[in-house]
Every structure is written in C-alpha cells, then in structure tokens.
Amino acid sequence: MNELQQLQEKIANGTAVVGIYGLGYVGLPLALRFSEVGLKVIGFDIDERKVQLLNAGQSYIERILPAQIQVAQAKGLQATSDFSRSQEVDALIICVPTPLDAHREPDLSYVTNTLEAMLPHLRPGQLLSLESTTWPGTTEEIIAPRLRSRGFNPGENFALVFSPEREDPGNPDYGTQDIPKVIGGMTPSCLSLGSALYQHAITTLVPVSSPKAAEMTKLLENIHRAVNIGLVNEMKIVADKMGINIHEVIRAAATKPFGFVAYTPGPGLGGHCIPIDPFYLTWKAKEYGINTRFIELAGEINHYMPHWVVQKVADALNDRSKAVKGSRILILGLAYKKNIDDTRESPAVEIMQLLADKGALIDYSDPHVPSFPAKRDYHFDLKSVALTAEVIRQYDCLVLTTDHDRFDYQLLQEQAALIVDTRGRLAKRSNTITA
C-alpha cells in the first residue's frame, strides 16, 4: 500500500488528523467543524494571543462562543505556533489572508511564508489544500513547484487541491457545513482525496476540473458582487444629484419577479474578499494581454465611495455653518457589515481617517467592536462610545456607516444634531442626510 492509499484509508475511517493554518474568520470555524464531526484537529497560527486564548478555551471572534471552543477541545482540538508539528497531521489546510500590497498587486507572502514554515516538516502521504483566495494558477505555479523541490509530487506521494473558502460572517442561514464547497485537484487522485476529506465536514461538494477552475470560480463570485455594487453605488450618486432616493428605487425595482437582483449601495466595500479579490484577476489578466475594464471601473467607483461620504458630511456641516475641522464626529459602526465584529477593509475606517485628516475630532460607536483593532495602515487609540442621549448630543455629526440592529435608531434621530446615513436605514427627517 503506497502513501496515498494509506492516506485514503485514514480519511475513510476517520483517523486522519487535520491541520488548519490560520485561525481567523475562515480557519477557526473550519477547525470547529472538523472537530464536530470527530476528526482530530491541530490549529496553527503565528499569533500567540490566538493560540493562548484557544488553548484556554476562549474565543476572539464574537459569533464563536467559548463553549464551542471547549467542546472542540474535549474532542482533541489543539492550537499551536509550532510548525514542526506539521508532521503530525495528514491534511494541511491553508486559510491565511491574501491582501493587496501598496501598489494594489497580489501579496501572497502569507501563503508562501506559511508554506515555507511547513516544508521542512512535511512527509509523503499528506494532503495540502489551499483555501486562500488567489489568482488562477497559484496552486499549480506557486505551491506545486515548492512541493516538488522537496520531493513531494502531487498525485504520486502527495495530494494537492484548491478549495476556496466561502464563509459569510453573520449569516444565520448558512454555516460552514451548509455552503457548497468547490474543489479542484492537481490530479484525479488528488481530487478524490480532497473530496473524501471535505465530505466529512461539508454537506455538498462541487468538484471542478482543475485548481485553476476552482481559483477562477471564487474570483468570479466576488467580482460579480463587486461590479454590481459598483453599479448601484454609481446609481446612488446619480440619483442623489437628481434628488431621488435610491433606496426607494431599489425597493421598487426589486418587486420585479425576474431579471433583477437587488444590491444596496453603501459607504464603500468591506471585508477581506470583495474589495481585494477582483484585483487578483486584473493583475493576472495582464499576463495574457487583457485589460479587465469592468472590474477596474467598478473598483474605481467603490474606492471613491468613502470620499463621497466625507464630502456629504462636509456639505451637511457647511449647511449648518460648521467646518469639518474642529467638528466632533461620531462614526456609527466600525464593522464592514451589520451585526458582526469583522472590521477587515471596512470603509468606516477609511472614512474616519479622511475626516481626521481634515481636522475632525473622531470617535466611534460599535456594539460589536469594543476597541479599535490593530491595523497595518490605520492607527486610532479609541474605544467604542456608549450611546446615551447625553453623549449623542455632544457631537456635531453622526455618520451611520454600519447599520447594526443593536443601534437604537429612534434615540439617535431624536437626539442627534445631524446624521449622515450611508445605508438608507433611517427615516427622512430634517436632521438626517442620506449619503
């Protein structure tokens, strides 16, 4: 029996050990799901704080309760920053970020650094799955050669697949196990092994012909959303100039039972996927002499939206004989979408910075984000402000950037001198401006 046949047997009988690399919003739910179905899981992360919290039975993600961590621990879940333990696992699943660099080009350093940390400790008969969103060809052009350089040949003594994450934080209808999982293997045997592993944890698998097809699938999903959000954001600007409420128009258009999908405008794009992933394809397409004009135009519009909001704030203050400089402004909602604690790429943060650069005195309130998180490009030493009538009246302007259900909107509108609403959540009043 060769190494891959032994791996197949371990996966089939449920004795395979799963390693999850990157214990964030994607990796931790996946680790808990594999633990839930009875597989032993070792979670790897370079962030010692996460490792310590998990091993103490605590959570650092709002929607994941400590009790869930503790149940998984009882089933064998461990967290570590020691990559030498990679030799203990049978399946290695990479769930690390793939951001853009300062030039808006793909930054695969998290992926490659993780792989380089793994490589000295790999052994024949393991399965590696990359879940991090990336450009088509990454698995075959970046991952596979590094494996082969150490004698690990996909389809012979090692298995390699790409299976993009599809997490939707805060979605009550779709948990990790409910979201169909796309998977592409380097060889048919790789695909078979990867599918067998994920079948333990995911209800529906969607096999495709290659890692490239799986990589392109994830990009198409997010580009579809980015382009349509760019369209509706542009429509919002046009409607505003015409004195039309775009949210009323969208609600009316959505009554059509065919041929229309409602997208809502906002202050910009947030989350790790939609603001970033389209540019992975834009970058790769240039290698083939193709300019992705739709993607780039949507990116321009969506990137502009925080600036649009800041201008609306400035205009609204000006109408009340106030300047942005010196005004006390409270940002309502730091997360990139409502009812979650995820602030990755949140347009609210950029709006804060733009207003601060203009001299505004900035605070924020977010019931899901008690203190401003560490970020590469933004540094605010702030804690969330509790919303009372007295506190609200202290600000010259409130900017609703994330429409959390836990906000008391009646109180806000009754007490605020001015609110700029970027989400279309508030009723029309003299102190409320839609942006």
For the beta carbon of residue 276, count every other beta carbon within 10 angstroms.
Answer: 23
Tokens 């197949």 identify what position? Answer: 8
Contact 199, 173 (CB under 8 A): no
- Tokens describing residue 23: 């214990």
- Cα gap 194→187, rounded to integer Å: 11
Residue 273 is a catalytic residue = yes
Contact 7, 1 (CB under 8 A): no
Residue among 260, 270, 264 at smallest CA distance from 233: 264
Q: How many residues does the chain have?
A: 435
Report phi then psi at 406, rounded to 5. Answer: -80, -10
Which positions ≥6 away from 83 have C-beta within 8 Å?
44, 117, 118, 121
Mind giving me the DSSP string for 168-183? -TT-SS--GGGS-EEE
- Cα gap 54→80, rounded to integer Å: 9
Q: Which one is catalytic: 95, 190, 273, 397?
A: 273
Residue among 36, 126, 37, 25 at smallest CA distance from 85: 126
Catalytic residues: 273
